């Protein structure tokens, strides 16, 4: 993979140079609140495959040991990093210049799905927690 992305206003840009380990719709309360959306789609990649190429993100510690990166000007959510898993980062799939370059494979924190958004026929696995507890999809 060699994809670029960034925020709405263009102040922060990044590049992804390694294939995702997974692309997941996250239904946890933290992601809903951070994005203002019903769920947030992340692509999990090795940390070595991500670099900011323009600007510096603002960083918010949303819970102990967790950083959420976003544009301090326009507010676009960009990245999630957990101290407990320094080998990987999660990048918002929709902030890619070509978000169609990735395709979701599952839902994480599926117990938090809002009842008014029906995912019953999407064919994706529904995990009760994160990949840290369940493992990553085979072949990823």
What is the distance in angstroms between the CA of the first residue and the CA of the last residue of the chain?
13
| Whether the Cβ atoms of residue 126 and residue 107 lie closer than 8 Å to each other | yes
Domain extent at residue 15: 3-134
139 lies in a domain?
A: no
- List for the chain the helix, strand, coil content (%; round to 5): 15, 40, 45
At 95-123, the pLDDT tens digits run 999 999 999 999 999 989 999 988 888 99
pLDDT in tens, 1-16: 999 999 999 999 999 9
CB-based contacts of 119: which residues, under 8 Å, 6+ apart? 25, 107, 113, 126
For residue 70, tell me if it sits in a domain: yes
Is 16 inside a domain boundary? Answer: yes
Give per-residue pLDDT as tens, 64-84.
999 999 999 999 999 999 999
Entry pTM: 0.89
pLDDT of amino acid 138: 67
Within a domain: 74: yes
Does residue 95 belong to any structural domain of this protein? yes
Residue 118: name the closest of 41, 28, 8, 38 by CA: 38
CB 105 within 8 A of CB 84: no
How do residues 18-55 score in pLDDT, each as one tens digit?
A: 999 999 999 999 999 999 999 999 999 999 999 999 99
Residue 14 belongs to a domain with what CATH number? 2.170.150.70
How many domains would you assign to the chain? 1
């Amino acid at each position: 993979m060699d994809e670029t992305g960034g925020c709405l206003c263009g102040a922060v840009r990044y590049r992804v140079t390694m294939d995702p380990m997974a692309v997941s719709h996250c239904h946890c309360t933290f992601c809903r609140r951070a994005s203002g959306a019903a769920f947030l789609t992340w692509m999990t990649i090795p940390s070595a495959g991500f670099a900011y190429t323009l600007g510096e993100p603002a960083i918010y510690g949303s819970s102990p040991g967790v950083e959420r990166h976003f544009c301090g000007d326009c507010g676009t959510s960009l990245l999630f990093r957990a101290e407990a898993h320094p080998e990987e980062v999660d990048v918002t799939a929709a902030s890619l210049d070509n978000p169609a370059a990735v395709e979701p494979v599952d839902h994480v924190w599926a117990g938090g799905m809002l009842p008014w958004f029906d995912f019953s026929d999407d064919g994706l696995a529904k995990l009760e927690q994160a990949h840290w507890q369940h493992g990553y999809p085979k072949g990823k």
